Amino acid sequence: MKVGVTVATIRDIAKEAGGSVATVSRVFNDNQIVTEKTREKVELAIQELNYQPSMLGRNLRTSKSQLMLVLIPSTSNPFYSEIIKGIQDAGITNHYNILLCETDAKPERENIYLNMLKNKLADGMISMDPTINLNKLNELAETHPVIFCSEYEQDGVIPYVSIDSEMAAYEAVKHLIMTGNKKIALINSEKKYLYARLRQAGYERALKEFNLPIQEEWIIHTEDLGFESGAQGMCKLLELEDKPTAVFAVSDTLAIGAMKALDMDHDQERSPIAVIGFDNISFSTMTNPTLSTIEQPMYRMGVNAAEMLMKRMKGEEVESVILDHKLIIRESTLPSKYI
């Protein structure tokens, strides 16, 4: 003999509350014409019958998925974790879930996620992927809600939340200069990415302001932002006859990789090299020495991006937001110990 489980329906709620199915539906959809007394009766009936509404059915009726897509190039970069947490917290507070979409810089994956939004399987998209096809994304944004977070398009039409990367890089390099460095190298990613171009512009601006040389051999471009790429970049600098006294890396992951290469280098005659990164990921406090860096307000960036997207999904206009950054000075650039 099978024991059945009775599942309450909207009709059961209406009967328990002494009202109609239409009235219960209005309560579910937060219709303001329902009186407070009626609303309380329906909510009490829902609790007593332990009613669980069908989100699929509700989404089909409202043509909404309650889902936000979040595009990132890779899950391996810890920079994205705090931003994702901010997006998720803001989304859940407003009854939205997120779907994390790793493109891995592959167009075929990117197309899958863009088509999900195009086919209304999601209500909006936040892109943190600098590798994304901007032409396709701009075309999609003409009819669907899209927000950029961190990476964005200069002079583009898609709203974004980010920081002033050029100014932040300038302040990082100026700090290296003010601590006595005159030969400063740059470990950067590929210049096809906006953040890479802006951070190199800030690097060059600081050097020019203090009449310091910009030497091509001191500028290293890597294929990605991984720890290994940072180590390889530093190894190239250590092979130079005229070595820099300091390095600005455009991400903490590159900087930590560079510091690992320094740690493994056993040249006793080499002078210590100061290193500063960018992002202030959690690992930056765990290195030895601890890493000086530029702090991006990653959690706030995520919250702002989600809130901006939810406004766009309601048809509201939003303005792009530039958040404040902060120079964090730690052991890796202290002149008394490292220069």
The pLDDT of residue 63 = 60
Alpha-helical regions (H) of the chain: 10-17, 21-28, 36-49, 55-62, 79-93, 107-118, 134-141, 165-178, 194-209, 227-238, 252-264, 298-313, 335-338
The pLDDT of residue 53 = 58
Identify the CATH assignment for 10-53 out of 1.10.10.60, 1.10.260.40, 3.30.465.10, 3.20.20.70: 1.10.260.40
3-class DSSP assignment, residue 71:
strand
Distance of alpha carbon 216 from alpha carbon 222, whole angstroms: 14
Domain ranges of the chain: 10-53, 65-163+297-325, 165-296+327-338
Domain 165-296+327-338 has CATH 3.40.50.2300: yes
Half-sphere exposure of 61 (CA within 13 A, CB side): 10
Distance of alpha carbon 122 from alpha carbon 293, whole angstroms: 36
DSSP state of 292: B
CATH superfamily of the domain spanning 65-163+297-325: Response regulator (3.40.50.2300)
Nearest to 243 by CA among 268, 267, 271, 276: 271
3-class DSSP assignment, residue 275:
strand
The pLDDT of residue 3 = 44
Say whether 165-296+327-338 and 65-163+297-325 share the same fold: yes
DSSP 171-185: HHHHHHHHTT---EE
Question: Please, is 161 exposed, middle or buried when counting C-beta atoms within 10 Å of its C-beta (0-12, 13-18, 19+)?
Answer: buried
pTM for the whole structure: 0.80
Structure token pair of residue 101: 């979409």
Q: Are 147 and 123 in contact (CB under 8 A)?
A: no
pLDDT in tens, the chain (339 residues): 344 445 677 788 888 888 887 887 777 666 678 788 888 888 888 888 776 655 445 554 556 778 999 999 998 889 999 999 999 999 999 999 999 999 988 999 999 999 999 988 899 999 999 999 999 999 999 999 999 999 999 889 999 999 999 999 999 999 999 999 999 999 999 999 999 999 999 999 999 999 998 999 999 999 999 999 999 999 999 999 999 999 999 999 999 999 999 998 866 567 889 999 999 999 999 999 999 999 999 999 999 999 999 999 999 999 999 999 999 999 999 875 444
Structure token pair of residue 149: 């977070």
